[in-house]
Structure formats: C-alpha cells, structure tokens
Amino acid sequence: MKEFIYYSKTAVTAGNLIKDDLKKAGRLDIVCNVIISVFFISNAMREDVRLHMIFDGGPNNPRHLVMESNKEMPISKKNVAGLIKRMLYKAKDEDGLREIVPGCSIEKKSFEKVVMDLDKEGKDVYLLSGKGKDIRELKIKGNEVFIIGDQDGFPNDKKKFLKKIDKVSVGPKILFASQVVTILHNEIDRKL
Ligand SMILES: C[S@@+](CC[C@H](N)C(=O)[O-])C[C@H]1O[C@@H](n2cnc3c(N)ncnc32)[C@H](O)[C@@H]1O
C-alpha cells in the first residue's frame, strides 16, 4: 500500500465554509487536484493507495481525512469537493476515525500524530522536498509514506518536527503538490 500525507495549513474544517469558490475555502482547489492525482488515471482508479490529509485551517482544526482506493470509495472527479464537504459536516471531535462513506474517514488528529503513528507502524516515511535524495535512487519496498506540503510548503513548527525525516526529491524544479504526486506515482510504476 502506497500512502501519501498532504498537509494543508489553510484548508477549512467546517462543511458550511465550502461554497462555489474553492480557493476561498483555504485552497481546497489544490486539495482537490491532489486527490485527483493520487487516485485517478485515465478511465480507471489506482489500486492500493491511501491518502491522509490534514486540514489545519479553522474552525475545527486539525482534521485528519483518510481516503482509500480499495474500498469502493464513491468518488468521481466532479464530486471531490462535495465528498470533502460531506466528510467535514459529519466529523466529530471524539477520538477515532469515523467512516463517513466507504473508504473515506475523518477524525480530529494532528499532523504530528498522524506521522508518528505511521512511523510506529513500521512504514518508511519520507518528506517530499526539492532538496531531497533523488527518488530514482530510492529502493521502493511498497510500504512507503510520502509527505507533501501545501502551496506554502510547511510552517516553521512543522518544519522543525520534520527535520529528522528523510527527504526525497522528484526533480530539480519546485512543482505543484499534485504534479509531485503524478511524478512519484510514475517513478514507482516504472520500478514495480
Ligand atoms: C507548491 S510546493 C511548495 C512551495 C513552497 N513555496 C516551498 O518552497 O516549499 C508543494 C509541495 O510539493 C513538494 N515538492 C515540490 N517540488 C518538489 C520536488 N521537486 N521534489 C519533491 N517534492 C517537491 C513539497 O513537499 C512541497 O511542500
């Protein structure tokens, strides 16, 4: 299972704040592009992929949203924002993931805790960064977790927390998060 963690400092955490203009919902337009790149290929959905998203915008942050491709997730490219809205409306503050629709769950959990828990599970966690080791030099085991920042990268407290995590790069240019996902998928497709 390939896993991604997308951290958004700005994505809103209440369903009623999501209206027509997704940019005004804390750059949910970018989040939707990331989701599409993680799960969709031409005429099909990728298998064996899990996406963790941490929304750290107000008013109910942090929210940890999980989407997983193997569980008949009811997602289409047109309804991505609608699905997020539904998940945020149904979120509760109690501990533990709540499955809202098949393959889509949500809970209140911080970015740090999500990363630490995956690390404790024995996953190989990497931070995507233009300054990292070339992805082509990485030996892919199939249990990797790739952390990606939002339009502004990571705030200072998160950067400090991420200091000890190995960095990998997909190339010399700084790309959109969704482009990084596409390249990463492609590099792994070529290796496996
Ligand atoms: C739009 S970029 C962030 C740009 C932000 N101004 C910065 O410098 O961090 C979004 C995320 O994509 C990832 N990223 C962008 N270019 C990359 C590259 N060449 N290799 C690996 N990851 C990259 C990083 O995780 C980054 O936080």
pLDDT tens, position by position, 84-121: 999 999 999 988 999 999 999 999 999 999 999 999 99
Is 148 touching ligand 1 by the criterion CB < 6 Å?
A: yes
Q: Strands across the sheet with 104-108, in order?
A: 98-101, 104-108, 63-68, 49-55, 2-8, 144-148, 124-134, 166-169
Q: In angstroms, what is the span from residue 101 Cα to ligand 1's centroid?
A: 31
Can you tell me which atom of ligand 1 is nearest the CA of 149? 27
CA 63 to chain centre: 12
Judged against a pLDDT cut of 80, whether residue 71 lies above it is answered with no
Q: Which residue owns the Cα nearest ligand 1 atom 16?
A: 174
Instruction: Quote the pLDDT of residue 75.
Output: 86
Mean predicted confidence (pLDDT) in 27-44: 96
Beta strands per DSSP E along 33-165:
40-41, 44-45, 49-55, 63-68, 98-101, 104-108, 124-134, 144-148
Q: In angstroms, what is the span from residue 24 Cα to ligand 1's centroid?
A: 21
pLDDT band at 70 (very low <50, low <70, confident <90, very high): confident
Backbone angles phi, psi at 181, to 5 degrees: -60, -45
Return the domain boundaries, the chain. 2-191
pLDDT tens by residue, 124-158: 999 999 999 999 999 999 999 999 999 999 999 99
Establish how many alpha carbons lie within 13 A of residue 113's alpha carbon, considering only the half-sphere containing its beta carbon.
10
- Coarse DSSP helix, strand, coil percentages of the chain, rounded to the nearest 5 percent: 35, 30, 35
> What interhelical angle do 177-191 and 28-39 show, nearest 10?
10
Q: Are 105 and 99 in contact (CB under 8 A)?
A: yes
Q: In angstroms, what is the span from residue 132 Cα to ligand 1's centroid?
A: 11
Q: In angstroms, what is the span from residue 149 Cα to ligand 1's centroid?
A: 6
- CB-neighbour burial class of residue 42 (10 A; exposed 0-12, middle 13-18, buried 19+): exposed
Q: Are 4 and 46 in contact (CB under 8 A)?
A: no
Is 140 touching ligand 1 by the criterion CB < 6 Å?
A: no
Is 155 touching ligand 1 by the criterion CB < 6 Å?
A: no
Q: Are 3 and 39 in contact (CB under 8 A)?
A: no
pTM across the whole model: 0.97
pLDDT band at 74 (very low <50, low <70, confident <90, very high): confident
Report which of 1, 8, 40, 31 is spatially closest to residue 158, judged by C-alpha positions: 8
For the structural domain made of 2-191, what CATH number should be given? Answer: 3.40.1280.10
Which residue has tokens 């924002």?
Answer: 81
Distance CA 10, CA 184 (A): 24
